Structure 1
Amino acid sequence: MIVRIMGEGQVKLADSHFAELNALDDELLTEMESGDGPGFRATLTALLDKVRELGTPLPDDFLEPSELILPAPEASLEEVRELLSDDGLIPG
């Protein structure tokens, strides 16, 4: 799957990593629903770090569509709330 981190670029990520990422996504969703700003920031950072760690960066001139778009690291709680679906940032 091709994942874009807004403002950074794209990475290719194996589907086998999504269970691990979904755990962080569930935590992020809970923090957003409760308005836990510090927890939200820490979990968003952990989620993006994990995507960078597990993914393979794609060249800047790679022009395939992203299957998943994640917010920029500095995104506010309100900005991320706008990106959410019922499943969080990561479907499934």
Structure 2
Amino acid sequence: MIVRIMGEGQVRLADSHLTELDALDDELLAEMENGDGPGFRRTLQALLTQVRARGEPLPDDSLEPSELILPSPDATLEEVRALLGDDGLIPGGG
């Protein structure tokens, strides 16, 4: 799966990592619904850290279509809310 982190670039991420990322996505969604700004910021950073740690960066000139687009690390709660689908940032999750 190709994942784009807005403002950073793309990484190739094995589908096997989606379960752990989905758990963070669920947590992020709950924090957003509760208006928990500090929790949201902490979980967003954890989600992006996991993607960076588990993914293989693609070259900057790579033109792969992104299957998943994640917000930049400094995105606000309101900006992320605008990106959300019905089931969070990661479609098809629990």
- Shorter chain as normaliser: what TM range? over 0.9
Q: Displacement of 1:60 after TM fit?
A: 0.3
Q: Displacement of 1:76 after TM fit?
A: 0.1
TM-score (norm. length: structure 1): 0.99
Q: How many residues align?
A: 92
Residue 59 of structure 1: SS of its match in structure 2? coil
Q: Partner residue of 1:42?
A: 42
Measure the CA separation in 1 of the matches of 2:22 and 2:64.
23
Q: What letter is aligned with 2:21?
A: L
Q: Partner residue of 1:87?
A: 87
Q: Partner residue of 1:26?
A: 26
Measure the CA separation in 1 of the matches of 2:17 and 2:33.
25
Residue 45 of structure 1: SS of its match in structure 2? helix
Q: Displacement of 1:64 after TM fit?
A: 1.2
Q: Displacement of 1:42 after TM fit?
A: 0.1
Unaligned runs of 5+ in 2: none
Matched, 1:63 2:63: yes
Q: What letter is aligned with 2:88?
A: G
Measure the CA separation in 1 of the matches of 2:64 and 2:57.
13
1:4-15 to structure 2, matched below 5 A, reads 4-15=4-15
Unaligned runs of 5+ in 1: none
Q: Partner residue of 1:78?
A: 78
Spell out structure 1 runs of 4+ moving beyond 2 A: none
Q: Over aligned residue pairs, what C-alpha RMSD do you find?
A: 0.4
Residue 91 of structure 1: SS of its match in structure 2? coil
